[in-house]
Amino acid sequence: MYFYAARQPILDQNKNLYAYELLFRDSINNVFPNVDGDVATSKMVEASQFNVGVSDFTGNKPAFINFTQETIAQGYPTMLTPQEVVVEVLETEKPGKRLLALIKDLHEKGYTIALDDYQHQSVWAHFFPFIHIIKICWRGTTQEEMQVIKDAIIKFPHIKLLAEKVETYEEYDQAKALGCELFQGYFFAKPEMMKTKQLSPSQMAMAELLYETSKPELDLVSITSVFERDVSLSYKLLRYANSPIFRRRAEISTIKQALVTLGAGELKRFLGLMFATNINPDKPTELINLAMARAKFCELTASDLKTKIDTSSAFLTGLLSMIDAILDESIENVLEKLPLAQEIKDTLLTKKGPVAALITLVTLIERAQWDKTGIVIDKLGIKKESVIKHYNDALAWADEQSQHVE
């Protein structure tokens, strides 16, 4: 069983991962806006209880999950622990005595409560002692309305404001200045500013290795030589090859041994991850995690396409699909500096071809644009169930890998 869901990151003021919101539907064929919210929530809770846990899907971070008054009354939130869920009360629910009693009960049981797409009404003041987070649609709320909300909760300092649908760094800065402490949206996945950045010698070595491993036949002598010129990179290679995820029977002690043991596919993945995670240490870790998940998704889904595609190349292309945001430069400027295979450059620049379609597909899933997701899946001629499986597997893989490539 796999969640038919997207997870969208929620970051704190320092752009560290705070939680994920799960945007759930009960299947790829039933993901349109008119799906009943109670059904979607109940299916998700059922799946988390009897199949795969919410914490597995969110990397042990809290999951914001939408609940209606009815699903709260049926006790669905309490089927999950207070540590793994934030109970997000949908904006369609009206503030009344029954809802207040339900929220007070959840609060007393230790659950974190959030109000979704908050529109201020004075009656909500009765709920504030039990509310922890108020979500504000950044693009649908004026600064004057923001000030009204801030004034209303001034006596409740435990309440955090969460700005959602924040799509640019300018909006992030504005929301932060207005007192928001949490942020949801893909502002972190876009270039922060356009500037010229020189690659360090170690980064250039990784770029050279990316080029060497993009060739049809690996030149082991040349690759070993590059590693031997960079002590830091060699250390990371040996540490990675010896990590528990490979379950090696014997420890690896030489560069050549590590390269042979890893093999071409795993070497390409290692170099891609090292390049992405080390090229700009100031970027949010969730951005790197997102790039890693995209890479794995492209690799897994490429094998399902009728068109024969090198899965290692699909992995690297998916990983580099966010390189402009990682480097804070245009994709054109970035690719000029990287000696990559022309096929990869063409895919990233023109956004055409089967791998570009895979990148489009995973981007739509990330943003829970389900209607468009189904259209792309049909055009690619792949199974919808496999797509969801690959997405779930890619998220789990990225969460695990992020612990081993630092």
* Amino acid symbol at 76: Y
E strand or H helix at 45: helix 37-50
> Quick one: pLDDT at residue 277?
72
Calculate the average pLDDT of the chain.
83
- In which residue are the tokens 């999951």 written? 63
Extract the residue ranges of the chain whose pLDDT is less than 50.
1, 27-28, 30-35, 49-51, 194
- In which residue are the tokens 């640019």 written? 168
Instruction: Please list the helix, strand and coil fractions of the chain in percent, rounded to the nearest 5, in that order.
Output: 55, 10, 35
d(CA 163, CA 250): 50
Token pair for 50: 């009897």
> Quick one: pLDDT at residue 27?
47
Token pair for 162: 């969460």
19-39 residue pLDDT tens: 999 887 554 454 434 445 555
> Quick one: pLDDT at residue 51?
46
Task: Kindly write down the DSSP assignment for every residue of 198-263, as one continuous string.
Answer: PPPHHHHHHHHHHHHHTSSS--HHHHHHHHHT-HHHHHHHHHHHTSGGG--SS---SHHHHHHHHH
d(CA 284, CA 305): 32
201-401 has which CATH code? 1.10.3210.10
Q: How far is CA 6 from CA 229, 240, 365, 368, 405, in A?
A: 42, 29, 6, 6, 25
pTM: 0.79
| Burial (Cβ within 10 Å: 0-12, 13-18, ≥19) of residue 28 | middle
- List alpha helices for 109-230, DSSP H: 143-152, 169-177, 201-213, 220-228
Domains 5-189 and 201-401 share a fold: no
* Amino acid symbol at 355: V
How far the first Cα of the chain sits from its last, in Å, is: 31
Question: Do residues 6 and 365 lie in contact, with contact meaning Cβ atoms separated by under 8 Å?
Answer: yes
Question: What class, spelled out in words, does domain 5-189 have in CATH?
Answer: alpha beta
> Quick one: pLDDT at residue 197?
56
Question: Do residues 263 and 248 lie in contact, with contact meaning Cβ atoms separated by under 8 Å?
Answer: no
Query: What is the number of alpha carbons within 13 Å of residue 97 lying toward its C-beta?
Result: 0
d(CA 52, CA 99): 30
Judged by DSSP in three states, 12 sits in strand
Question: Do residues 10 and 183 lie in contact, with contact meaning Cβ atoms separated by under 8 Å?
Answer: yes
Q: Enumerate the domain spans of the chain.
A: 5-189, 201-401
